[in-house]
Amino acid sequence: MTATLPNGQSSLLMQMTQRLALSDAQFRRICQLIYQRAGIVLADHKRDMVYNRLVRRLRQLGLDDFGRYLAILEANQDNAEWQAFINSLTTNLTAFFREAHHFPTLAEHAKRRQGEYRVWCAAASTGEEPYSIAITLADTLGTAPGRWKVFASDIDTEVLNKAQNGVYRQDELKTLSQQQLQHYFMRGTGPHNGLVRVRQELANYVDFTPVNLLDKNYNVPGPFDAIFCRNVMIYFDKTTQQEILRRFVPLLKPDGLLFAGHSENFSNLVREFSLRGQTVYALSKDKS
Ligand SMILES: C[S@@+](CC[C@H](N)C(=O)[O-])C[C@H]1O[C@@H](n2cnc3c(N)ncnc32)[C@H](O)[C@@H]1O
């Protein structure tokens, strides 16, 4: 069935659905720019993904030409559009208690440590990872003020907003026990049916802020007992990964732990970190 639309509306619809041209040169430029700004390496086979993500942004801006979009970006290095460009090109896949074997390791480590237990979650995405850390620490150490703190960051400001809101679909929390659900989340009612929100008592222990891992200095309140840097290094080249790992060294307390993603191997990259468990690292003895 085709609907007849008034002229203005049908040309708007055309503009919204027509495939735009993305030349080889424009694709290569986009790859260079996201590499410079975020360290993310985009292979040629990511071309459709790049198109689909950026075309949405162009349409929001009422643009129908990638060349024009790039010209706007490059005309001003401080343009707020750079953040939207970065937000469009990051991959934010995450889940509560992803790579579940890390959380008992975290709990055991936290039990053995004195003073405030501090964790930095360095690619926090939409919040599932820092809240999983917070739930583990609340279950293990309780919620007495000053006992522990989670500091969560990401380069993508849009995901950080979602993380800070702390609202999730209830079916995303299948890996939590009934007790954890009751303790740490409130169920939505009426129009919010099927949604849950992180309780303020837990959210108070998690701070969110933007941090670009490419920055030479991280504006984070270290040193930390543990750093979670999971499933983000895979987007970077070897040199970038090594530079980031070396910047982590002074941010870890003695015998602190660094948690990596399942396909990330840090001991092959720098001498400063040695394997302590399944994708868990600590400072090498001669470095700590
Ligand atoms: C695939 S998600 C991983 C999320 C979570 N760590 C996990 O393992 O479930 C990767 C995250 O890294 C973030 N990211 C990419 N480049 C970054 C950079 N240069 N600095 C900080 N975060 C970055 C992305 O925005 C995204 O949220």
pLDDT band at residue 285 under the 50/70/90 scheme: confident
Tens of pLDDT, residue by residue over 117-153, are 999 999 999 999 999 999 999 999 999 999 999 999 9
pLDDT of residue 16: 62
Coil, helix or strand for 140? helix
- Taking the model in full, what pTM does it have? 0.94
pLDDT of residue 14: 56
Residue 173's identity, in one-letter code, is L
Cα separation, 234 vs 230, whole angstroms: 9
pLDDT of residue 145: 93
pLDDT of residue 55: 97
Cα 133 to middle of ligand 1, angstroms: 16
pLDDT of residue 231: 98
Which residue reads 């055991």 in tokens? 108
pLDDT of residue 205: 98
pLDDT of residue 7: 61
Q: For residue 48, indicate whether it is catalytic.
A: no
What number does the ligand 1 atom closest to the CA of 126 have? 27
Cα separation, 218 vs 36, whole angstroms: 17
pLDDT of residue 149: 98
| Mutation pick for ligand 1 pocket among 154, 233, 258, 262 (CB with most ligand atoms within 8 Å) | 154
Cα 124 to middle of ligand 1, angstroms: 6
Instruction: Please list, in sequence order, all residues whose beta carbon lies within 8 angstroms of the beta carbon of residue 246, skipping any fewer than 6 positions away.
Output: 270, 272
**Once rounded to an integer, what is the mean pLDDT over residues 97-107?**
98
| Ligand 1 pocket, Cβ-based, cut-off 6 angstroms | 38-40, 90-94, 98, 123, 125, 129, 154-156, 159, 212-214, 230-232, 235, 261
For residue 140, the cross-strand partners are none
Q: For residue 246, indicate whether it is catalytic.
A: no
Cα separation, 211 vs 282, whole angstroms: 22
Residue 25 pLDDT greater than 50, yes or no: yes
Candidate from 3-17, 32-46, 127-141, 167-181 with smallest mean pLDDT: 3-17
pLDDT of residue 12: 57
> Peptide bond preceding 223: is omega within 30 degrees of 0, i.e. cis?
yes
Tens of pLDDT, residue by residue over 182-219, are 999 999 999 999 999 999 999 999 999 999 999 999 99
